[in-house]
Amino acid sequence: MTGNAGKRTVAIVPAAGLGSRMGQDKALLDLGGMTAIERIAATCHAAGVDEVLVVRRSDAAPLPDHLDVHVVTTGDKGEMADSLRLAYLKLPREAEAVLVFPVDHALVEVDTVLALRAKLLREDCSIALPLYRGKPGHPIAMTRPVFAELDRDGTMLRDVVRRDEARVAVVPTANHWVRADLDHPEDLRSANCSLTSQPWSAVAQMFRHASIRSYESDALPKAQIERLVDAARHASTSSFIQAYSVVAVTDQAIKADCARLCAGQGHISEAPVFFAICADLHKIAVACEKNGRSLQSDNLELFLQATIDAALLGQNLQLAGEAEGLGVCMIGAARNQPIEIAQRLALPKHCFVVFGMTMGIAKEVPLPRGRMPLEGVLHWDQYDQDSIASVLQGADDGMRAWAKQINAERGGYSGRPVNETKGWSDRMARMWGGESSYAKARQVLADELKRLGFGVFG
């Protein structure tokens, strides 16, 4: 079939490199269950490209059998320029346009290819390339006579593009993969994350957060859990101590015990995975012992560093899960019985669960409660104490409005009606003021953390 640009088009995919920096053959990289070359072939065919020609080393692994592509083999020359020169010799006689589509850019989408081919309709345009944030990328479309210029000794693709600016047209795109290469393992991780992510920016995702307490029974793949924790551990860490650990609990019996130890919260058992986010000084204690020293477990700064490190990792893990369409809820009740939960999870000395986290596919998304007015959080240059009265009034009004809405629309929260007369201030005073039962339940926390190896509490 002839494409909508009116010119018979052949896509050339240089895939003869060794992939030494990646550590594997790039054409066969797994991108969301499809190899890179399968994605490129599918994109080209969907965009009306008539033929896909792939340049491979003679000793390379075979491509998937079902692929509708033509393979041209080369010797030990894996450079793109060599592959393109060989491909020029193998071009079908009727090919009028060429699309140079490096395997590194396998996530470029169909609309970009369609736009590039459409640009070649212009009589004054013989090269079309994508532009991301003002910088050119791949793939590059060109007429056959322009592509033939590569046959000259030493001529590189960039030389052809830069030779005459007047013949080059650009196609602005929001797809950053026209610029991003698949060169290193971290590039592959980013690619697979982008294939599973929601269509929200990080900031938009933050505004959409809701604590999920009802989950579908679908299990989370082990590879997904590993990917999310792998991403989360790249959070900032004080002095590079990385004083955190994560215990991913998927065993139903252990989850049930964790639920019991966390105030009987049923969604811990229901969720496919319960993460115990730990402040972990055990590794540092072993490092000290290895070097003939003892851990300063009574150091307040070290305790704070470990706790903050764990919190930063946990926030990253929440955002990572939500970015992949999962529901998440943090569980502060994991501090209710810190010794018992540490024992159940076989935590070593100098390690405690700062908080837990459930994660899975949300069965129901609750009405958002919002937050107190921004003026209560953001201060300019100095803390504005005079604003607090109005801030608390706004927080109280917002809490009462949420209570009325959730009672009217959903019959209450977690199966119980919400008191519509109490605001945020009332709730905080009940939790932390006077003879609060909530506060009393945590009064022994310092003693329990001491038993777990944190001597900072005397």
Q: Give the three-state DSSP class for 440.
A: helix
Report the alpha-carbon distance of residue 306 to residue 350 in Å, rounded. Answer: 10
Segments making up each domain of the chain, as ranges: 9-178, 208-366+449-457
Report the alpha-carbon distance of residue 157 to residue 85 in Å, rounded. Answer: 10
Instruction: Classify residue 389 as exposed, middle or buried by CB count within 10 Å of its CB (0-12, 13-18, 19+).
Output: exposed
165-180: per-residue pLDDT in tens?
Answer: 889 999 999 888 999 8
Closest CA to 263 of 340, 211, 347, 369: 340
- DSSP assignment, residue 445? H
Question: What tokens were used for 88?
Answer: 């020029």
- Cβ-contact 246, 313 below 8 angstroms: yes
Mean local confidence (pLDDT), 158-163: 88
Q: Write down the pLDDT at residue 125.
A: 84
135-139, 186-190, 224-228, 257-261: range with highest mean pLDDT: 257-261
Report the alpha-carbon distance of residue 387 to residue 377 in Å, rounded. Answer: 10
Mean local confidence (pLDDT), 332-352: 96
Instruction: Classify residue 212 as exposed, middle or buried by CB count within 10 Å of its CB (0-12, 13-18, 19+).
Output: buried
Sign of the Cα torsion 170, 175, 181, 182 reads: negative
Kindly state the helix (H) or strand (E) to which residue 72 belongs, with its residue range: strand 70-74
- DSSP-derived secondary structure for 257-325: HHHHHTTT-HHHHHSSEEEEEEEE-HHHHHHHHHTT----TT-HHHHHHHHHHHHHHHHHHHHHHHHTT
Question: Does the predicted model carry a pTM greater than 0.85?
Answer: no
- Cβ-contact 202, 194 below 8 angstroms: no
4-18: per-residue pLDDT in tens?
Answer: 446 789 999 999 888
Report the alpha-carbon distance of residue 411 to residue 314 in Å, rounded. Answer: 32
Q: Which residues contact 257 (CB under 8 A, 6 or more apart)?
A: 344
Q: Write down the pLDDT at residue 1.
A: 37
Give the percent of the chain with pLDDT over 90. 66
Closest CA to 270 of 222, 323, 331: 331
Q: Which residues contact 169 (CB under 8 A, 6 or more apart)?
A: 119, 122, 125, 127, 128, 129
Report the alpha-carbon distance of residue 76 to residue 61 in Å, rounded. Answer: 14
- Cβ-contact 99, 116 below 8 angstroms: yes
- Cβ-contact 353, 338 below 8 angstroms: yes
Average pLDDT, the chain: 90
Question: Is residue 153 over pLDDT 70?
Answer: no
Report the alpha-carbon distance of residue 46 to residue 49 in Å, rounded. Answer: 7
What are φ and ψ of residue 40, in 5° steps?
Answer: -65, -45
* Topology of the domain covering 9-178: Spore Coat Polysaccharide Biosynthesis Protein SpsA; Chain A (3.90.550)
Q: Write down the pLDDT at residue 246.
A: 98
Q: Write down the pLDDT at residue 77.
A: 64
Mean local confidence (pLDDT), 370-375: 92
The pLDDT confidence band at residue 123, using thresholds 50, 70 and 90, is: low
Q: Do 9-178 and 208-366+449-457 have matching folds? A: no
Question: What tokens were used for 341?
Answer: 């939960």
Q: Write down the pLDDT at residue 332.
A: 95
Residue 187 identity: D
Question: Is residue 364 over pLDDT 90?
Answer: no
- Cβ-contact 29, 36 below 8 angstroms: yes
- Cβ-contact 350, 245 below 8 angstroms: no
Question: What tokens were used for 239?
Answer: 């002095």
- Cβ-contact 144, 96 below 8 angstroms: yes
We find that the CATH architecture of domain 208-366+449-457 is 3-Layer(aba) Sandwich (3.40)
